[in-house]
Structure 1
Amino acid sequence: MDLQKPPEPRHQPEGCLVVAVRLPVRIVVLVLVVPVRMVWDALVVIGRLLRDTVLKPLGRALLWTGRALFVWPFLALWRYLLAPAGRALAWLVRVLVVVPVLWCHRYLLTPLGHALARLARGVGAGLAWVYARVLVPVGRALAWLLKGAGAVLAVVGLGGYTAVAWLVRYLVVVPARWLHTRVLAPVGRAVAWCVRGLARLLGLLVAGIGLVLYWTARVLLVLPALALWRWVLAPVGRFLALVAREAGDALGHAWRIAGRISRAVGRALAALFRWIFVEPVRWAYRTVLTPAGHAVRDAVLRPVALGVRAVGRVTREAVTTARDTVRQARAEFRRMLFGSPRQPAPVDRREPVARDTRTLGRSTTALTKD
């Protein structure tokens, strides 16, 4: 068990400006928020009452109406018309399209494709044989002939090739090398040095102009803006933030206090309504209407109900007697006109009809008796 108390949260010290702003702001906000909170609570109560007594039954009625008008007809249409029609259509498509296509693929296209594949393999094998047995030997023979002709031409033209190479060396290569070494390389170095110097000069000019523009912008724009931010905007922003924070805290505090006040006022009004209207009505119902209702029930309604039951019972008995009398009179009139009905002839069912019938409590039956 830890006997040490947890460290209490340390609050930062607040200045006199915070305290001076907080109290009037909370008072003003409380005065403004209490009516709003009471109106809000009244609207919430009215909204809940409307939701429970009007909107929910109306929503259920609209839901039932929507189901009766839209869901159930479409469901019946789908179940008793579209689904059977779809099944019939699927059966027709299967019988008229799928089965013939499968039969055509299995017994016509597949054998034809196999035959074409065998024919293509045969043609490919023939072309491969022609390439290996005819074209390759012919190509090798042509290559051997071209090599031999090249060797003969090389042996014949060796002296001319040496003269051409000597002329190309001393008429083209040596002058080009001298031109590159004595003329083009020095000129290129001089041009590169000039370009580097010009680039350095332009860099110094750009750096100087940038430094001048930087200090000009710093002195004319940055330092005044920094001073304005540090000595004007920041303090004003802190003050406005303090006011906004205190206003928000005051609004929350006032909203909670207004809720308690509204709850107390609501409870007082509910108690007043209860003692003015509900309790008298309950007392009148309990002490006046209930005994009067019991007296009316015992003195009037119950005897009337007993009399009505007796009358109903007598009426039913009279109706039953009249029905039996009419049935007997009809039977006598039919017998007088058409005579007695013919009795059915007895049928021999091979079973004793007298005392010698089957028995369940004895060990013998009518068939095993002597």
Structure 2
Amino acid sequence: MVDVEKAPGAGPREEPVRRADAEGCLAVAVRIPVRIVALVLVVPVRMVWDALAVVGRFLRDTVLRPVGRALGWLGRALFVWPLVALWRYGVVPLAKGVGRLGNVLLVVPAVWLYRWVLTPAGHVLARFLTWVGAVLAAIGRGLYAGLAWLARYLLVVPGAWLYRWVLTPVGHALARCGRGLAWCCGQVARGVGLVVTGAGFVLYWTVRVLLVLPALAVWRWVLVPVGRALAVVGREVADAVGHAWRIAGHVSRAVGRFLGTLLRWTVVEPVRWVYRSVLTPVGHAVRDAVLRPLAEAGRGAGRAVRQALASARLSVRQARADVRRMLFGEPAERQPVDRREPSAAETRTLGSSTTALTKD
């Protein structure tokens, strides 16, 4: 490999600009008809798309969003707030009560049982099991020693003798027979391998001549040119559709602005003029000539009614007091309670008997 160093001061490599005259005749021949057809087909689609987008935004702002807010508020009022209230004022207090009851009925007795019954019993049982384990370990060690001695002289010693004087000579004989058989099989496999190699060589060249070379020729001289032509056509179609979509956007925007201006000057401006020049003065006149006097009269009537009601309540209160005095007489006056406190002129001292405990 050869390392190519960048020359000092050289900027980043720029992509070569494709010249218009460097394109093939197929691209030039396909471009204009495809762009005309795409423009004729895409302009109505783009205008319908823009109209649907405007209608969708209008429905979203005027219908769907208020309906969604109302449904959200209704859902909160019907589901969220009752569930929150049920959780806060029903489930939580009930759970706290159940928790306290469970603590009193289950946890405290269980802790007492564990501390004063199970723990001492566990200590006693652990000591007993430790003693029993020590005894069983001693018995096990004795049994293990006896069994090990029996196994040594009943199994290991006869097995070693059998392996040394019987199995080893037989194994050597079988190994020699196996090596001879393996040599014979190797010779047979070598012959079979030569036959398979020759057959594979013949099959390889047969497949190469009958399939690979024709397929390669079809790929190189048929599929590649056709693919390049289809790629050019597809690129031109995609460019034409994009160009037509942008042009259709400009056309749709111009049509929309024209329709908006027409709607403004035929509907909005007349309605605004009628509202500003006719309805507003009429509304002000009705407000000043009718509504304000009616409001003042209503407020005056309300004040008169409130004063009449206050006078009636005062008269009823006085009549009740007069009837009570005629039936039961004047109420007895309360006598002042002597709290055994010295007057302001007297002075309380340590030697005087003016305190509450010593004054008689």
User: Is 2:41 the counterpart of 1:10?
Assistant: no
Deviation of 1:341 (Å): 3.3
Distance 2:314 2:182 in 1: 142
The AA in structure 1 aligned to 2:333 is Q
| AA in 2 matched with 1:64 | W
Residue equivalent to 2:283: 293
Give the counterpart letter for 2:192 in structure 1.
L
In structure 2, the partner of 1:278 is: 268
1:318 Cα shift?
Answer: 3.4
Counting only pairs closer than 5 Å after superposition, residues 1-370 of structure 1 correspond to structure 2 as 9-12=15-18, 13-123=22-132, 195-347=185-337
Q: Where in structure 2 are there 5+ consecutive unaligned residues? A: 1-9, 154-164, 348-360
Distance in 1, Cα, partners of 2:252 & 2:211 = 56
Task: State the distance in 2 between where 1:348 and 1:116 align.
Answer: 80
- Bigger shift: residues 23-32 or 313-322: 313-322
| Structure 1 residue 300, shift from structure 2 partner | 2.4
Matched to 2:261, the amino acid is A
Higher mean alpha-carbon deviation, 35-44 vs 328-337, is at 328-337
Distance 1:121 1:200, change over 3 A: closer
AA in 1 matched with 2:249: G
- How far apart, in 1, do the equivalents of 2:314 and 2:179 lie? 144
Q: Which amino acid aligns with 2:16?
A: R
Distance 1:265 1:90 in 2: 72
Q: Deviations over 1:59-99 (max 9, x none)?
A: 22323333333333433443344333333333333333333
State the 1:267 CA deviation: 1.3
Measured in 1, the distance between the counterparts of 2:182 and 2:338 equals: 145
Change (3 A) 1:299 1:207: same
Letter in 2 for 1:249: D
TM-score by length of 1: 0.70
Distance, in Å, in 2 between the alignment partners of 1:327 and 1:98 is: 65
The one-letter code of the counterpart of 1:110 is T
Give the aligned residue type for 1:44.
A
Larger Rg: 1
Q: Which moved more, 1:341-350 or 1:225-234?
A: 341-350
Change (3 A) 1:341 1:221: same
Using a 3 Å threshold, how does the CA distance of structure 1 residues 10 and 210 change in structure 2: closer, same or farther?
same
Instruction: Provide structure 1 residue ranges, at least 5 long, that are not aligned to the other structure.
Output: 147-167, 358-364
Q: What TM-score, normalized by structure 2, do the two folds share?
A: 0.71
Identity, % of aligned pairs?
Answer: 62
284-293 or 297-306, which deviates more: 297-306
Deviation at 1:112, TM superposition (A): 2.4
In the alignment, what sits opposite 1:164? none
The CA deviation string for residues 231-275 of structure 1, in whole angstroms up to 9 with x for no partner, is: 111111111122112222222222222122212211111111111
What is the aligned partner in structure 1 of residue 354 from structure 2? Answer: none
Deviations 1:130-185 (A, max 9, x none): 899xx69x98xx99xx9xxxxxxxxxxxxxxxxxxxxx9xxxx9xx9xxx8xxx88
The amino acid that maps onto 2:279 is L
Residue by residue over 1:329-360, the C-alpha shift from the partner in whole angstroms, topping out at 9 and shown as x without a partner, is 443444344443333334567899xxxx9xxx
